[in-house]
A and B are shown apart, each in its own frame.
Chain A
Amino acid sequence: MDSQYCVIELIVKNHPGVMSHITGLFARRAFNLEGILCGQIGNSGDSRMYLLVKNDERLEQIIKQVQKLYDVKEVSICKDCKPSIFTNISELVKNSSCEI
């Protein structure tokens, strides 16, 4: 993974439909989505989500469309996130083992 990818960070309302809203948007607008990390932020009722996307000319449009989703509270490009945080995930998926 290198700079052809970037990581979008989202704060979203945590409820059963939110993941469908995010992934559905990527599918129907034909945006590439290479990886997702998601977890609840304490007991706040919010979740933080990291999306690994291609860093190309569609990035501006992706961010604007994600911003429009009702359950999305904040969107930013995570400058400090290294796309390599997803590497372990892809290892996990590839090896089907939890020992990484």
Chain B
Amino acid sequence: MADSKKDTKTINGAQLLIKLLEHQGIDIIAGIPGGANLPIYDALYESSIRHILVRHEQAAGFFAQGISRTTGKAAVCFATSGPGATNALTAIADAKLDSIPVVAITGQVSYSLVGTDAFQEVDTYGLTLPITKHNFLVRDVMELFEVIPEAFRIAVSGRPGPVVVDIPKDVQLQTVNLSELPDIFILEEEDIEDKETLNTIEKAARMINESKRPVLYIGGGVINADASQIITEIAEKSSIPVTCTLMGLGAFSPENPLYLGMLGMHGARYTNFLLDETDLLIALGVRFDDRATGKVESFCPNASIIHFDIDNAEINKVKKAHINIVGGLKPILNKLAPLIKANERKEWIGKLNDLKEKHPFVMPPETDLFHPLTIIRELGNILSEDDIVATDVGQHQMWTAQGYPVRKPRTFLTSGGLGTMGFGLPTAIGAAVANPDKRVVCISGDGSILMNIQEFATLADLQPDLKVIIMNNGYLGLVRQQQEMIYNKHYIASKFDSSPDFAAIAKGFGIKGVRIGTDENPIEVIRKCISEPGPCVIDVPVRSEENVVPIVPPGKANYEMIGGEL
């Protein structure tokens, strides 16, 4: 063991925890101290790990997600017992739904008090059981030697996900002789030797080569597997159009003529129409989510399905696959690629171009300066391919997914599965701290930003190069839109009666704030703000009653889209 410590000394559980985290290579932790995790913070006092004091435990979880989503590595957050842990739950559940490796370490009341309704006691183990990949309640200091490296192994291996480690205060204070630290888990790519799998890969290649109208349907699993390059190779060689899920954006270049953009509920019309005609759906790292498939029975009705995914439980869960492989995408596709024959597919690509011409994704005219899509398109011109965009949840999120060209994996951070308003700001701050060489933009709405606005304080502390653009329409826009389109224009609880002055709020926190007037050119103001270093909050009064189109009404088939026609 290279890193082992040979000299034996007595330390406590909290010190052991910090040593194990350092040993894992953790260098940043976001969190908030409290009664039940103070020994951990006391141990952190001696550590080289940088601690980021956020202002709400949910933000600590999202901060860790910002690190993890941009680097692919597991990241850590701390919270105390009781309300600390319950505050963190939303960020943990969010990480579960989007398969993000986060290790949340919570303080717990002393084990001798567990079950007595002690001050700030809550059943963190029970609460996190359904929203984690796995969770641990540590009952003895010796367990830490196994639990901590195991927590990281679980978080990053297979389908990644969050792990909670709940540590009672008396375990944190229990002493232990430290002799050597356990090995850390290193994720290794395995080559495929299994005969059956190799046969299935050959069969998949035959199906792809024989198919007349194939489509690649790729998702977040491709980003986690770092398989975007090999997919591009396959798609280009065999002329296969590629559609991305929300979580898959960035896995295929939007500048590639084979790119179809996002599919499903807010996909372009031609994309959903083309999927209706495919005879072979090659589903990679996707889970056939209802926002992507629409009414399942009508999704790709004429297609055979090849499904490759690292999680066996996703195979046949929603849609029966004709052939499937469970495993890491990269080794599978590395074996598949050489078997794919070059094919121009003139007819099918002709069909794609024809549909695209007749049913394109319709952008507003460039002169429509206060349409959110205009602003988002311009952001695509202002930012470079390495810059990072985080969104909140709502209309602005869907417009960003439709209109922002995500050119590289891990540069687009969005709450896909759980759809958490309040995700954007703390995740963006985490991303900015983990990637100090990159510019970060958080696109939010006037509804979402208020759900973690206290993090303006963390922004003021850290002063990262991060711009928050608030698409301010005075509504919970996506709710208003559904009420207009589906609930007979019965508008209830979707319009805000008052609107805060976000620029003044930002200044109150000690950061720059800009409120764009309706007589100004918002693009020019945004461009100027982005060119200046440091944080800035930009409040943009977008047109208030725009809808995200096209839209597939919930429960309908994807071809039954409303709106977005030429």
Closest CB of chain B to A76's CB: distance in Å? Answer: 15
> Is A65 an interface residue, CB under 8 A from the partner?
yes
Decide if A28 touches B316 in the complex (CB within 8 Å): no
Question: Which segment of A17-25, A32-40, A41-49 sits at the interface?
Answer: A17-25
Choose among B130, B137, B312, B317 the residue that contacts A17 (Cβ–Cβ < 8 A): B137
Decide if A20 touches B129 in the complex (CB within 8 Å): yes
Chain B, Cβ-Cβ closest to A67:
B312
Closest CB of chain A to B88's CB: distance in Å? Answer: 19
The 0/1 profile, CB within 8 Å of A marked 1, for residues 532-550 of chain B is 0000000000000000000
Decide if B313 touches A24 in the complex (CB within 8 Å): no
Q: What A residues does B129 contact at CB under 8 A?
A: 17, 20-21, 24
Measured CA separation A6–B311 after assembly (Å): 24
Question: With A21-B129, A24-B129, A61-B317 known to touch, is A70 a contact of B134 (CB < 8 Å)?
Answer: yes
Could you tell me which residues of chain A, from 58 to 84, have a CB within 8 Å of some CB in chain B? 60-61, 64-65, 67-68, 70
Chain B, Cβ-Cβ closest to A69:
B134
Q: What B residues does A25 contact at CB under 8 A?
A: 130
Choose among A20, A60, A67 the residue that contacts B126 (Cβ–Cβ < 8 A): A20
Q: What A residues does B134 contact at CB under 8 A?
A: 70
Decide if A68 touches B313 in the complex (CB within 8 Å): yes
Decide if A61 touches B154 in the complex (CB within 8 Å): no
Query: Is the interface on chain B under 10, 10 to 19, 20 to 34, or 35 or more residues?
Result: 10 to 19
Choose among B125, B135, B313 the residue that contacts A65 (Cβ–Cβ < 8 A): B313
Q: What A residues does B137 contact at CB under 8 A?
A: 16-17
Closest CB of chain A to B322's CB: distance in Å? Answer: 16
A-B contacts at CB below 8 angstroms, number = 29
Measured CA separation A65–B314 after assembly (Å): 9
Q: What A residues does B154 contact at CB under 8 A?
A: 70
Measured CA separation A21–B128 after assembly (Å): 11
Q: What B residues does A28 contact at CB under 8 A?
A: 130
Measured CA separation A100–B315 after assembly (Å): 44
Question: With A24-B130, A28-B130, A70-B154 known to touch, is A60 a contact of B316 (CB < 8 Å)?
Answer: yes
Could you tell me which residues of chain B, from 85 to 135, have a CB within 8 Å of some CB in chain A? 125-126, 129-130, 133-135
Decide if A17 touches B313 in the complex (CB within 8 Å): no
Measured CA separation A10–B312 after assembly (Å): 18
Measured CA separation A25–B133 after assembly (Å): 12
Decide if B126 touches A64 in the complex (CB within 8 Å): no
Measured CA separation A20–B128 after assembly (Å): 11
Decide if A17 touches B316 in the complex (CB within 8 Å): no
Most chain A CB atoms below 10 A, which of B125, B134, B315: B134
Q: What B residues does A68 contact at CB under 8 A?
A: 311-313
Chain A, Cβ-Cβ closest to B135:
A17
Q: What B residues does A20 contact at CB under 8 A?
A: 126, 129
Q: What B residues does A67 contact at CB under 8 A?
A: 312-313
Q: What A residues does B312 contact at CB under 8 A?
A: 64, 67-68
Q: What A residues does B316 contact at CB under 8 A?
A: 60-61
Measured CA separation A60–B313 after assembly (Å): 9
Measured CA separation A63–B125 after assembly (Å): 24
Q: What A residues does B125 contact at CB under 8 A?
A: 17
Decide if A61 touches B130 in the complex (CB within 8 Å): no
Chain B, Cβ-Cβ closest to A62:
B313
The 0/1 profile, CB within 8 Å of B marked 1, for residues 1-28 of chain A is 0000000000000001100110011001
Q: What A residues does B315 contact at CB under 8 A?
A: 64
Closest CB of chain B to A37's CB: distance in Å? Answer: 22
Measured CA separation A24–B126 after assembly (Å): 9
Closest CB of chain B to A61's CB: distance in Å? Answer: 6
16 A-B pairs with CB atoms under 8 Å apart are A17-B125, A17-B135, A24-B129, A24-B130, A25-B130, A61-B313, A61-B316, A64-B312, A64-B313, A64-B317, A67-B313, A68-B311, A68-B312, A70-B133, A70-B134, A70-B154
Chain A interfacial positions (CB closer than 8 Å to B): 16-17, 20-21, 24-25, 28, 60-61, 64-65, 67-68, 70
Q: Which 3 A-B pairs have the closest CB atoms?
A: A64-B313, A70-B134, A28-B130
With contacts A60-B316, A64-B315 known, what are 14 further pairs, Cβ within 8 A? A20-B126, A20-B129, A21-B129, A24-B129, A28-B130, A64-B312, A64-B317, A65-B313, A67-B313, A68-B311, A68-B312, A68-B313, A70-B133, A70-B134
